[in-house]
Structures are given as structure tokens and as C-alpha cells.
Amino acid sequence: MSYSESSIRVLKGLEPVRERPGMYTRTDSPTHIIQEVIDNAADEALGGFARKIAVTLHGDGSVSVDDDGRGIPVGLHPVEGVPTVEVVFTRLHAGGKFDKKAGGAYAFAGGLHGVGVSVTNALSTRLEVSIRREGRIHRMAFAGGEVAEPLAVVGTVGARSCGTLVRVWPDGRYFDAPRVRRAELERLLRAKAILLPGLRVTLTDEETGEEKAWQYADGLVSYLGESLPTGDAAGYVSPIFAGEAYAGAGDSGGFSEGEGAAWALAWCEAGGAGESYVNLIPTLTGGTHEAGLRSGIYESVKEFVTHHGLLPGKVNLQAEDVWRHVRFLLSVRILDPQFQGQTKERLTSRDALRLVASRIKDPLDAWLNGHVEEGKRIAELAIKAALTRQKAGKVVEKRKQSGAAVLPGKLTDCESQDIARNELFLVEGDSAGGSAKQGRDREYQAILPLRGKVLNTWEVARGEILGNNEVHDIAVALGIDPHGAEAPQGVLDNLRYGRVIIMADADVDGSHIQTLLLTLFFRHFPRLVEHGHVFIAQPPLYAVKVAAQGKGRPERRLYALDEAERDQILERLREDRVRIDHVHVGRFKGLGEMNPEQLRETTMHPDTRRLLPVTLPPEALEQARSIFTLLMGRGEAAGRRAWMEANGNLVEADI
């Protein structure tokens, strides 16, 4: 197989989307590419420019979305030299949602990167757009992502009539199922009406003649009320607590004007569940905004319980005890949200946790103290959950203590007895260990600083490894003995932590320490790896400080895992027209350089950190063993040299 200059392909225009559609959208059905069009219409409504969204399922499998917003601009684009509507549908990373400052087309919007409807166009056999703007009706059509019919004026309308109609024929070659999922589409449209009180949303099916319409005057409360269970089986159900809070100009919390949240929630004995949205985009797998809601609710209920003396002795209330019975709807507005992937199913913006927690806590404090009897019943649910959890934890604790040893003096242990929740951080160096001790949650996070590099234990006999102080301390802290792959499952009965997290610097030395610890666990504690107890923390290598951009844009700190992520952040800031002299990029030399708050936010807090689980499928066992032998074996120097000569160009290392 030849590898030459002609082997390198350059994908242009919309080719990248058709080549790798899964990078840009969900490919189970065309529902998400239709959602991109609906989201654009909803962004017009969010800005106060649209009052109606009408979606039609046509008999030929196409779908149309009509709104009465401002209409996509149709004049020549000042840079591209073609009609702006053509730029919107045929250029990746082209859109009106980059400039979020005063004077921009949008302030809060679900669209971020300008790839939405261009992806829709790329994955459709045909797309037609009709725009009502400035008294005229403009029409343009695309086929296979390319212009099929140039922009033309096809009629006139009243001066006040404006909006955009997009009709899409999805290309079945790119999807597992050729048609949109009706139920999913209905949930999406209903959610838009709920989150934007007063907006009228309709869905018409031409084949069946059925038409559905949604319009809610009181939005979240109505929707949540419909989903709450009734009857004896539901047990206790609290009244709905609803509210909203947004940052004003010069907000002391450092948030931009208009950022905040609206919510509706209730406690239900039958169990909790909820839905969350960011700038009207459904976040199906949650994210940092849900974590903020959970944190704010927990702090408020905990204060109420303490103030009224409701907590029995030796009962330790935790966030999940309060959260377990919450039914909620959460709608968040964030100026520059960061999502996991183009489908935006999970929010990753770290500031969202603090934003939502700070918005809900004071209103919930007031509500609980204004509804004391309801507050006490809510507290009873949480305390009951805590008692159940602690009872289960004590069973594990009794087994654990049967072979207790004196814990190492440098271990800073946690308070909780809940083994499944407890975490042990193996931290490189005393400096980082000091920051980790201050930044941890002392309730369930323990810290064990490691002095120097751990012994290479690949060829050390099992009976001899405890002679090394660092290995000895790790084993004693974990509460288990070294063992082989043939060890019984009960070898983990005395395990003291459900998660063992390797937290080393994001450099070559840190990678070496990670490798040595992974060697130790793979060779001498294989059951720990097999049962998914080992994780690797991913601290950021770069911090990007963005100076305040006027009253509406306070100072921000963004963190990047590596050079590629740093460059993505800088590119996004350039797209947002942030002046280069307002951006400062700093590089962390190590974990010890981070203050406790930074270390907690980026590397330790469960809702904002990144963890890599260490897993090893049975079929990969022999391959892993051979790789460890090559890398760590004393007699494998020649093999390592040959491997580096053959593969050294693949290594991306900061040396």
C-alpha cells in the first residue's frame, strides 16, 4: 500500500460532513438535522422576534419549519460576495451567533459554531428556503448541499410580514432510519413552547391530517404539574416551587447580564427525574447546570434541616439524599455555553454550576421557611434516604475493619463510611498534595501524597513489593493485599475506596508516574482494575484568562487540557471578536502551581473534572501484558529502542 503526496485528501465545503456525518449529528434518524432548523427558529423567539413556529411533516418524507422571525438576510455577504442566505446553508462555521456583545444579532442562543443548518443541507437530497423580508418573498434551493436554484424574488408581502420557511428532504443514505421520530419531535416542540411562554408551536402531519398545538402561559409550572404522579402509589408529593433569577448589570458574582436560570421543581416520594435545557437546547444527559441545581438545593435543604434541628444524631446528610426525590425542569441562559459534542446533549461549562447554585439558593431558602410543614416533610424524605444509605454502608464497613491496619501517617482520610462513594487521590508530590487537601471535599475524598516516583514493580515478586515505602502506603491505604489474576473475588472485601484516582502533572514526568502506578495495579492488584476502581485524573495544562469586555462581559478563566484544546478556545475567542491583548494564556508547570480552588474546579469536583476510567476487556489482556513487558521489563531495552525508532514520530510529548 503506497503512501505519497496524492494520499492526502483535502475536504472542502460540506464534504467533511458527508464523509463523517457522525461527527456533526446523530445518525440514528434525521431528527437532529431537523432540530437544527427548529433551534434557529426558537433562537428568534428567545430574542423576542418570533411568536410562532409551525412544523409540517409532508407525505414525501420532507419536513418544513416556518417561523415569523426576522428572516435570514438575503443581501450580498461583505466578505464572501454571495447572498448571505447561501453562506448560512453552504459554509461550515458561518452564522450570526458568534458576536454575543451589544449590537450582535443574538445575545443568548443555542447555536454556537455556525455548523447547524449547513449540516442539515449537507445531509439532505434537497433543501428549499423561502424568506419573507422587507416586503418581498425570496426563494433559494439546494441539492446535495450545492446551490440548485439561485436566490430570486418570487413575490411580495406586507411590510410587517417576515420570517423564514425551510423545507428539508433528508438523505436516507446517512441515517439508520429514513424518517424523523415523531415522538421525539413532539417532545422537542412541546419543550420550546414550555420554555418560551406565549410562543405558539404547531405540528401538522399531512398523511394523517392530524395537527397538534402547544402554547403555555405559565410554562414550566404547567409542564411539571402534568408529569407529577398522583394516587396512593405516588406517596408524598410537595407543592411545585418555581422561580427564575438572572444576573443584572455589574453582577457581583462575575456573570454577564441576563445569565441565569428558570426552574420548577417538586419532591416526590415515588422518585425523582427531570429535564434540563440551555438556551432552549435540551441537554439529555445533563451537565454542570444540573449539578448546580443539585448543589443549590442541597445547601438550602441542609440549612433548613439544621436550623429546625431535624437531623438525628450520627446521620450525615449528603446531596444525593436530597436529590433522590426531586422532579425538576431547569432552563438556563448562558452567554457562551460549552457543550460535549455538536449534538449538545451535555453542558460542560464550569461556571454554570456556580451560576445555577447561586440563583436558586436564596429563593429556595425563602420558600422552605415560608412553607415550614412542607419543608419538614421534604426533610423527612432526605433523612430517610440518608439512613438507608448509611445502613448499607455500615455493612461494608464491618467487613472492612476485620483486617484493619494502621493507616499511613501522610494519608489524609475522608469522613464517610460509604465505600462506593469514597475516593482516594494518589497525588504527585507534597506541594500538589497540600493544594489537594485544601481543595478536596473532606467528606468523601482522601489524599495520599507520593514522594518521588513509585518503584517499577513489573518484575518484583509479590512478597517483596511491600518493602517499598510508597507501595506499602498505597496498599495499606486501600485496605487490600497484593494479589494475582487468579485471586478470589473476595480479595476486595476490605477495599476502603470505591475510586482510586491517579492525579499527576500533565507533563512527561506525570505520565511516567501514571505508567508506574498502572504497572503496579495491573501486575499486583488486577482485581482493582477488573472491577473498574482505577481512574486517571486529567488536569488542564493551560489556563486562558480573558479580561473583562465592558460591563456585560466580566473577566473569565477557561482551562485547556492540551495544545489542541487551547487552540480551540483561542479560535472561539477570535470568532467572538475578543481583542488579542485581552487574552492571556498561562501554562501550569504542575499541580502544585494551582491554588486549591483551581485544583478543585478543574480536577477534583465530580461535576467539573475529567476522569479517564481504566478498563481492560478480557480479550485485550494478553496484548496489555506484552505491552507492559516491552515498556517495563528490564531485559527489553533493545525492544524499546526498536519500538521508539519505529513509532517515535507518533508521540506528542512536551520534553
For the ranges 99-103, 150-154, 636-640, the lowest mean pLDDT is seen at 99-103
Q: 90 exposed, middle or buried (CB, 10 Å; 0-12, 13-18, 19+)?
A: buried
Q: What is the DSSP letter of 150?
A: E
Q: Is the pLDDT confidence value at 184 over 70? A: yes
**Conformation bin of residue 50: beta by default, left when phi > 0, alpha when psi is -120 to 50:** beta
* CA distance linking residue 359 with residue 245, whole number of Å: 6
* CA distance linking residue 494 with residue 400, whole number of Å: 4
* CA distance linking residue 175 with residue 172, whole number of Å: 5
Does the CA dihedral 347-352-357-359 come out positive or negative?
Answer: negative
Query: Contact, 201 vs 53, CB < 8 A?
Result: yes
Residue-wise pLDDT tens digits, 405-462: 567 778 899 988 888 889 999 998 777 778 889 989 988 999 999 877 788 888 888 8
Residues near 255 by beta carbon (within 8 Å), at least 6 away in sequence: 247, 351, 355, 554
Residues near 217 by beta carbon (within 8 Å), at least 6 away in sequence: 197, 198
For the ranges 214-218, 247-251, 338-342, 517-521, the lowest mean pLDDT is seen at 338-342
Residue 139: the pLDDT is 96
Task: Output the pTM of the full model.
Answer: 0.64
**Residue type at position 274:** G
Query: Contact, 427 vs 450, CB < 8 A?
Result: yes
Q: Domain 15-214 has what CATH class?
A: alpha beta
Residue 505 is among the residues annotated as catalytic for this protein:
yes
Q: Average of pLDDT values for 157-168?
A: 93
Q: 39 exposed, middle or buried (CB, 10 Å; 0-12, 13-18, 19+)?
A: buried
Query: Exposure string (b/e) for 574-589, b if CB count within 10 Å is 16 or more?
Result: ebbebeeeebeeeebe
For the ranges 355-359, 476-480, 619-623, the lowest mean pLDDT is seen at 619-623
Higher-scoring residue by pLDDT: 108, 81: 81
Q: C-alpha cell of 542?
A: 493551560
Q: Average of pLDDT values for 603-625?
A: 85
Q: C-alpha cell of 644?
A: 521508539
pLDDT band for position 369 (cuts 50, 70, 90): very high
Higher-scoring residue by pLDDT: 301, 103: 301
Higher-scoring residue by pLDDT: 512, 109: 512
Residue 507 is among the residues annotated as catalytic for this protein:
yes
Question: The cell 434541616 sits on which residue?
Answer: 305
Residue 3: the pLDDT is 53
Does the CA dihedral 107-111-115-116 come out positive or negative?
Answer: negative
Q: Average of pLDDT values for 70-76?
A: 93
According to CATH, the topology of domain 220-393 is Ribosomal Protein S5; domain 2 (3.30.230)
Long-range contacts of 371-377 (CB under 8 A, 24+ apart): 371/239, 372/308, 374/238, 374/239, 375/301, 375/304, 375/308, 376/308, 376/310, 377/236, 377/238, 377/267
Residue 104: the pLDDT is 45
CA dihedral 71, 74, 80, 82 (to 10 degrees): 140
Catalytic entry in 257, 505, 576, 607: 505
Q: Domains of the chain: which residue ranges?
A: 15-214, 220-393, 404-538+613-650, 540-587
pLDDT band for position 589 (cuts 50, 70, 90): confident
Residue-wise pLDDT tens digits, 284-311: 888 999 999 999 999 999 999 999 999 8
According to CATH, the topology of domain 404-538+613-650 is Rossmann fold (3.40.50)
Residue 201: the pLDDT is 95
Q: What is the DSSP letter of 309?
A: T
Residue-wise pLDDT tens digits, 224-264: 888 888 877 778 899 999 999 998 876 667 788 888 999 99
- Write the CA distances from 21 to 15, 31, 176, 283, integer angstroms: 10, 14, 12, 20
Identify the bridge partners of residue 261 per DSSP, sorted by sequence position. Answer: 245, 332
Q: Average of pLDDT values for 257-279?
A: 91
pLDDT band for position 11 (cuts 50, 70, 90): low
Residue 396: the pLDDT is 42
DSSP string, 75-92: SBPTTT-SBHHHHHHHST
* CA distance linking residue 21 with residue 26, whole number of Å: 8
Residue-wise pLDDT tens digits, 114-132: 357 889 999 999 999 999 9
Residue 405: the pLDDT is 52
Q: Is the pLDDT confidence value at 8 over 60? A: no
Residue 267: the pLDDT is 95
* CA distance linking residue 374 with residue 566, whole number of Å: 48
Higher-scoring residue by pLDDT: 646, 180: 180
Q: C-alpha cell of 527?
A: 482485581
Percentage of the residues of the chain whose pLDDT score is greater than 70: 90
Percentage of the residues of the chain whose pLDDT score is greater than 90: 37
* CA distance linking residue 86 with residue 93, whole number of Å: 13
pLDDT band for position 403 (cuts 50, 70, 90): very low
Residue 113: the pLDDT is 36
Residue 509 is among the residues annotated as catalytic for this protein:
yes
Q: C-alpha cell of 643?
A: 519500538
Catalytic entry in 43, 259, 423, 428: 428
How much is the mean pLDDT over the chain?
84
Q: Is the pLDDT confidence value at 404 over 90? A: no
Please report which helix (H) or strand (E) contains residue 629, including its range: helix 621-632
Q: Is the pLDDT confidence value at 4 over 70? A: no
Q: C-alpha cell of 139?
A: 426563494
Residue 252: the pLDDT is 63
Residue 179: the pLDDT is 87
Catalytic entry in 507, 530, 562, 593: 507
Catalytic entry in 509, 555, 563, 571: 509
Residue 346: the pLDDT is 86
Q: Do domains 15-214 and 220-393 have the same CATH topology?
A: no
